Every structure is written in C-alpha cells, then in structure tokens.
Amino acid sequence: MNALLSDWTTAFSLPPFAQITDADFGPAFDAALAEARANIAAIAASADPADFVNTIEAMEQAEALLDRVAGVFYNLSGADSNEAREALMRDLAPKMSAFSSEVTNNKALFARIESLWQTRDDLGLNDEQMRVLTLYRRMFVRSGALLEGAEAARLTEVKSRLAVLGTQFSQNLLAEERGWFMELSDEDLVGLPDFVVAAARAAGAERDVQGAVVTLNRSLIVPFLQFSPRRGLRQKAYEAWVARGANGNAHDNRAIAAETLALRQERAKLLGYTSFADFKLEPEMAKTPSAVRDLLMRVWEPAKRTAEADAAVLEAMLHADGIEGPLEAWDWRYYSEKRRQAEHDLDEAALKPYLSLDVMLAAQFDCANRLFGLEFREIDGPFYHGDVRGWEVTRKGAHVAVFLGDYFARGSKRSGAWCSAMRSQKKLGGDVRPIVVNVCNFAKGEPCLLSYDDARTLFHEFGHALHQMLSDVTYGFISGTSVARDFVELPSQLYEHWLEVPEVLEKHALHWQTGEPMPADMLQRLLAAGTYDQGFATVEFVSSAMVDLEFHAGPAPADPMQKQAEVLEALGMPRAIRMRHATPQFAHVFSGDGYSSGYYSYMWSEVMDADAFAAFEETGDAFDPEVAARLERFILSAGGSQDAEALYLKFRGKMPGVEALLKGRGLLDAA
C-alpha cells in the first residue's frame, strides 16, 4: 500500500512520514496526475452550461490528490534531499510543466472560464468569488490561453525547458555547497569564539572529518569571516563562497542562467510583452520596471554614500593592523565586527548566549499570543527528519494549524531560509487547516545559539507562517501567501519589528546556562546598534535587485556575467562589497520564476512594513489589540482575496513613502 495514496489517519492528518518511502513518490505522482487529468477533462467536456460551481469550484478541487503528494515531496526535496529525490525532481520538472500547460491550453476549459468572465456581473458572485474568477482568467491568459498553433506549442516547450533549468540550477548549487569545506587546524581556531568553534567541529563531524571545518553554509561562513584573524583563510573561504556555481565544473550555473534569461524573454514576446520584466511585474504592486528602478535608486544613493564612508573607517583599521593595500570583501565583516565592538561595546560572542534558539522560539510564540491570541503546544513526531519539531497551534481551544520548525543546517538541505505549506487553508469541501513549515540553516550546537541576525531570520519566517496559519478564505487559490510577490514579504518583515521591542527581549533574552536576563546595558547597546552597517547590507541587497531587474528589463544578455559587471559598474559598486547573491548562485531568480524580476520585492514590502509597525507605535503599545485585529483582518487572514494595495489601504488608510524605509535603515541623513 502506497502511504501517499492511502487515507491519513495520523493526528491532524499529518503525512505519515514513517511509512513514506522514496519509492512511493513516483507512483503517487503518476496516480495523482492521472486523477487530475481525468478531473480536468470532465470539467472541460461537461455538457452543462458553465457556472461558478461546476467550473471554478470544480477546478479548485480537481488536483486535491496532486496537491497532497506534491506538498510532501517538494518540502522534502528542499529540506532533506538525497539522490533519489533529486533524480525524481529532474524527472518531474518537465512532467509537471507539461500538465500545467495542458490545463491552461485546454480550449474547452478556457471557453467555460471566458463565458463566466463575460457574464460575471450577472452571476451573483460575492467579492471573494469574483476575485477568484478574475485571477483564474488572468492565470490562463498569462499562461498563453489566447495563443494558437505554433505559438502555443512553442510556449509549452519554453515553459517545460525553464522548469528543467530551474531544477538543474538548484541541484547544482546544492552540490557546490555540499562538496566544499575547508579543514581548520587547532592553530586556525585561535581567535574564534567558542560558538564558532563548536559549529565548525559539528560541521566536521557531519562530514566525517576529524576536527573542525568551514563550510559554505551562511550560518557558519559568516561568523568565520567576522571573527577569524587569519586573513588568508578568510580570503580562501570567501572566494569559495562567492564562486558557487561558477567553478567551470559539472555544477557550473552560468550557461543555465544565460539560457534561462533567453527563454524568459522569448516567453514574454510570445505573450505580447516588450520584456520579461514587463510581463512579470504587471500583476504586482509595482506594475512596471521603471517604478522598481525608481525605488531602488532612491535607496541606492544614500546607502552607497553611507557604505563608502564606512569603508574608509574599516580600511584605516586594516592599515593600523600593518596590512597594506585596499580593504577587500573578505575583510569587511572582520573589521566591521571589531568596529561594532569598539563603538557600541557589543560583542556578538557575549550576546549569543542570551539568544538561544529555544528562548527565541518562546519569544516569537509569545508575540503571536499577545497579538492574535494563538497558543502553541509542542507535539511528538515522527516528522520527516529527526531535527524537525512540531507544534499544534490553537486559539480559544480551537485548532488553527500545525507548525513545523526545521532549523539546523545539513548537507541535504538547500541554503537559505523559507516558509512553505504542506497543506494550505481553505473552506471549500470542508474546513481544511494548514500544515506550515519554517526552514532555517542555523549552525547546530548544544545549545543552538543565534546571532541577532539569525533571530531576525527566525521572526521573519514566522511572519510568513502567520500569514499561512491565520488565512481565512474559502478558496485555496487565494489562501495564505498567494498574494502579489511584492506584498508577500510584508507580514514577514513586519514581524521582525517585534524582536526590537525592548519588553520582548527583556522577557525572553535569557542566558542559556544561568537563565539570567540580558543585562540592561547590553540590551540598550543592542537596540542602539540596530542600524549599524546598514550601508553595507543595503548595498549588498540593492545591487542584487538591480542586476535582477536589468537582466529582465531588456533583451536577454548573451553573457549574464558581463551584464552583471556592467550593471555594477554603472551603479558605482563600492569595491569591498559584493552582491548578496551573484548570478551563478542567485537561487531566488534562477531556481524558478518566483522572484525573477522580483528580488526588489523585499524592499517594496519594507516600505510598507516600516509604516505598518508605525501604526502600533502611534498608539504607544506595540501590542495594541485594535491595530492587531486590523492587521489580521485585512492582511494576515485575507490572503489574495483582494488587490494588495486595497488591503493595505484598509489596514492603514494611506500608502507610505520611501522615507519610512530610509529612517528604519538609518539612511535618512544620507539621503
């Protein structure tokens, strides 16, 4: 019996992870795709006149089994990959793309949708149903439903090839990160804080190496670059980190990036758009490449001025150490950490014992309780990996969701941090409650001690999780995070602000050994340093966003690396700072279409999140119940049930300007 295809009798209808084998996935996808195809064919061939129930609601339920199987597999393939899962990913990419194209190219099916669209004002639809109909029609049109003949066939080929390339890009990057490490002798460990040494030894043990190693996982390599006094080792590690996907081996991603950009441009042309950016941005809040460029450049100039002033200070520190020559990229974090200690008397090694994973989890749950009345009860597995923890989420005794947390770096997990749903909320066909997963890549330790940036990442991903868990819509198509790409980061970035509320850290930042709270003067210094090094962080981000935009806003570059260099030169990129994500490792943009032409969206959302938190600050209470109720009603529970701008206006009453963002990053004086 295939566990993926049987009824799940587990608590909360969780996937029966202990019974699922890798051999189950292929047959389960075959069965699920066959069932979905049959359901779609029946809808399209129905002799009954099209109505909302027999067409749109039927489509909403047509792929239920496929959604269930995919919800398990794609979560596992990102968080706990292996050779069998990677092989199936490669096999599934064209199959899933082909199925999607079959649906959107089905002329009889689109004719039913179009007939509903043309008579929409006479159907008696409520607002949510009208929104769902609008989005279904838009999805079909943007997928090529209006194309005929050779153009329709070519678009199907292009989308299939893009799916294959995205999978290859991701797997190449994972292989690069899994394959490289640098062994450290006892002498090489001198000067590193205990938490870095412990993480390096744990990474060595995972790779069956006697002793400590540095890997290309951000949670280990960044603190190594911050604290290692050995400049040669910093350079070696840094150059390996930024060379991922560009090493001229079987995992090189440069040709994949070039082909991807060319195919995206072809796709846009087939659909009648000047560029892929024009196509991609049309349904977003930004709407046009020029609007994105304007936002990024308004932030770039003050960020660059701040970063250049900071670079001069750090270079003077480098020279004071007797090192000639310019400040290099592998020097920045090391001297910036020294400067932070000197100017803010803030030593990350002294700070981290107060920011263990357990106390920060308690903090994020407590904030959710105070804001939205949610309660979290830890539950037993088994889950898909031994590192995973689970909680039942309730409110006033009623079940809301299951929340899974997968927090530690390992070789089977792709880099970064993300939120996904194994099951999304919906009411059609019964009250379906979500299973939400947060994935991070913290260095595993006993205990796991977080940097302040790590804690911010934890809160960020939990903001996404709240968007999924508090969703309250009828149709899965608009559930949770199914919103405009430049709106989806609002809940996540907004939730980060509660980490900066003094009373939160006063209550929860407890020393992992003694249980003592963080000293008041340390807390004050931590919060005072909140905008420290924001020139660097903003330049890192905006340069990546501009490269992404310019890749897609004109003709596809034959050589993306040359185009990247041209964009950075035009920006006047500071010498000692690199893009946060260089092209061959830019998974946001090349592992799929999600953030292509859309990496800017973090900053677009940040304009709103700064303003949204100000709504709480204006009341004098970071947990004001009336503002929290509006936030849940109009943002967190609404999903994609309305246009993003309309939802924000209902919450806040106005749209914000970029000044709130600059103030939040400490860049207003440089503007």
Distance (Å, whole) CA 346 – CA 299: 27
The tokens describing 580, both together, are 């946060």
Distance (Å, whole) CA 587 – CA 165: 12
Q: Residues near 557 by Cβ (< 8 Å), separated by ≥ 6?
A: 258, 261, 551, 563
The tokens describing 639, both together, are 């999903």
Helix axes 452-469, 485-496, angle to 10 degrees: 120
Cis peptide before 289 (omega within 30 of 0): no
The tokens describing 19, both together, are 């019974």
**Beta pairing partners, 393:** 376, 401
- 324 part of the active site: no
The tokens describing 233, both together, are 């080792």
Angle (CA) 475-492-510 rounded to 5° is 130
Q: Is 245 exposed, middle or buried (0-12, 13-18, 19+ CB in 10 A)?
A: buried
Q: Among candidates 240, 230, 454, 243, which has minimal Cα distance to 348? A: 454
Q: Is 503 exposed, middle or buried (0-12, 13-18, 19+ CB in 10 A)?
A: exposed
Distance (Å, whole) CA 173 – CA 584: 8
Task: Locate the DSSP E strands across 148-279.
Answer: 181-184, 212-215
Task: Give the residue carrying structure tokens 């088994």.
Answer: 382
Catalytic residue among 176, 284, 461, 550: 461
The tokens describing 228, both together, are 């290692």
What string of DSSP letters covers 551-594?
HHSSSPPS-HHHHHHHHHHHHT--TT---SS-GGG-HHHHSSST
The tokens describing 455, both together, are 């804690």
Distance (Å, whole) CA 225 – CA 206: 21
What kind and span of H or E run contains 331?
helix 329-344
Task: Give the residue carrying structure tokens 């480098």.
Answer: 318
Cis peptide before 382 (omega within 30 of 0): yes
What string of DSSP letters covers 58-101?
HHHHHTHHHHHHHHHHHHHHHHS--HHHHHHHHHHHHHHHHHHH
Q: Residues near 658 by Cβ (< 8 Å), separated by ≥ 6?
A: 295, 298, 299, 607
Q: Which residues are catalytic?
A: 461
